[in-house]
Amino acid sequence: MDTSLILQNVLTPPILFFFLGIIAVALRSDLEIPAPLPKLFSLYLLLAIGFKGGLELQKSGLGGPVLPTVTASIIMSLVIPLICFFILRIKLDVFNSAAIAAAYGSISAVTFITAESFLENQGVPFDGFMVAALAIMESPAIIVGLLLVKLAAPKERPAGRKMRWREILHESMLNGSVYLLLGSLFIGLLTAAFNPTGVEKMQPFTGKLFYGAECFFLLDMGIVAAQRLPSLRKAGSFLIGFAVFMPIFNAFIGVFVAKLLGLSPGNALLFMVLCASASYLAVPTAMRMTVPEAKSSYYISTTLGLTFPFNIVIGIPVYMGLVNRLIPVAS
């Protein structure tokens, strides 16, 4: 197995700070990062990811592997929620199934940047345009989730709970975190094209500071994830199993699609991580608004309490092992 990769991953500052947060909760330390400080870091990270992605996208253009990769990403974010939905329906009702399915079809930006840090650490190159795939995968999954409710929900749903299409599109496209990510990407693109000195002057903020801010944020994520664990236990073994099995399954689909697309090993890992990760920001907000019947504790504790830690600690190095076996290094 890839224990050496796992170990190398665990011994980096972001993962170590994540553990520090988890252990704080486990030992009942009163360490806390009060609101709205986590929001500061989450806004900062989205802005910086987007901006840097935009710079890279301007460099690479839409030629080569860019358009096929982005297209494949959109397809994945439409297909994965469908698969998830049918698996979840074994045990859960339509509302909860659709909400969780949407979360797993969407992505987690912090998982993505942890994978980027992992690749940098391993010296494996990857392309900045993958951020475009990241930015584009949030909305379709939400729309699929809401569509599933619209189609599969019992007819006797009260009038007040009729789906309003305008709201659905609004929630899926203009959610704060989706919007900031896409907007910053676009700004990065424009800046790279028209104002190179602006790129340089942003570098200390969006570039240099990034790794440290990521560590600080992961410390908080460790605390939050650990606080979610008790409600995960209440959710039952079916959901616990789902939260670990599903990312692996999605990563598997991802690696084969990556092979088909002819992605480089670095890009292939990032693509797998996009498939494997689940959203705990944009999607829950949209679901809370439009499907109040779904229990938020279900979709938050699976994605945040289990899938997220699993992916960043064990998943990423394991997926890298798969990449090393299946994806040839370009020469």
Partner 1 sequence: MKRLDLVFSERELEPMLKSLEKSNVPGYTVTKHVTGRGPERVVSEDMEFTGLGANAHVIVFCEQELLGKIKENIQPLLNYYGGVAYVSEANQL
Positions in the binding site for partner 1 (CB under 8 A): 30, 34-36, 38-39, 42, 160-161, 175-177, 220, 223-224, 227, 280-282, 284-285, 288-289, 292, 296-297, 300, 304
Structure tokens at 88: 């979840």
283-to-127, 226, 232, 235 alpha-carbon distances in Å: 26, 20, 18, 19
CA gyration radius, the chain: 19
Nearer to partner 1, 17 or 319 (CB): 17
From the list partner 1, a second copy, none, pick the one residue 208 interacts with, judged by a Cβ distance below 5 to 8 Å according to partner type. Answer: a second copy
With tokens 């679901």, the residue in question is 287
User: Between the CA atoms of 6, 21, 282 and 132, what dihedral angle is there, to the nearest 10 degrees?
Assistant: -40
From the list partner 1, a second copy, none, pick the one residue 211 interacts with, judged by a Cβ distance below 5 to 8 Å according to partner type. Answer: a second copy
With tokens 């394991």, the residue in question is 318
CB-CB neighbours of 280 under 10 Å: 26
Nearer to partner 1, 27 or 35 (CB): 35
Nearer to a second copy, 185 or 246 (CB): 185
With tokens 């392309």, the residue in question is 127
User: Residue 260 and residue 278: Cα distance in Å, rounded?
Assistant: 23
φ, ψ of residue 106 to 5 degrees: the values are -85, -170
Element (H, E) at 331: none
From the list partner 1, a second copy, none, pick the one residue 202 interacts with, judged by a Cβ distance below 5 to 8 Å according to partner type. Answer: a second copy
From the list a second copy, partner 1, none, pick the one residue 297 interacts with, judged by a Cβ distance below 5 to 8 Å according to partner type. Answer: partner 1
Nearer to a second copy, 75 or 174 (CB): 174
CB of 51 to partner 1, least distance (A): 21
CB-CB neighbours of 326 under 10 Å: 14
From the list a second copy, partner 1, none, pick the one residue 252 interacts with, judged by a Cβ distance below 5 to 8 Å according to partner type. Answer: none
CB of 151 to a second copy, least distance (A): 26
Nearer to a second copy, 174 or 260 (CB): 174
Footprint of a second copy (CB under 8 A): 8, 11-13, 16-17, 20, 23-24, 27-37, 39-40, 43-44, 47, 51, 120-121, 170, 174-176, 179-180, 183-184, 187, 190-191, 194-195, 197-198, 201-202, 204-206, 208-209, 211-213, 215-216, 219, 285
From the list a second copy, partner 1, none, pick the one residue 300 interacts with, judged by a Cβ distance below 5 to 8 Å according to partner type. Answer: partner 1
CB of 119 to a second copy, least distance (A): 12
The angle formed by the CA atoms of residues 37, 188 and 17, to the nearest 5 degrees, is 35
With tokens 């995968």, the residue in question is 137
Element (H, E) at 235: helix 210-235
Nearer to partner 1, 166 or 325 (CB): 166
Nearer to a second copy, 41 or 308 (CB): 41
Distance of CA 243 to the CA centre of its chain: 14
Q: How many residues does the chain have?
A: 331
CB of 189 to partner 1, least distance (A): 25
CB of 180 to a second copy, least distance (A): 6
User: Residue 246 and residue 297: Cα distance in Å, rounded?
Assistant: 18
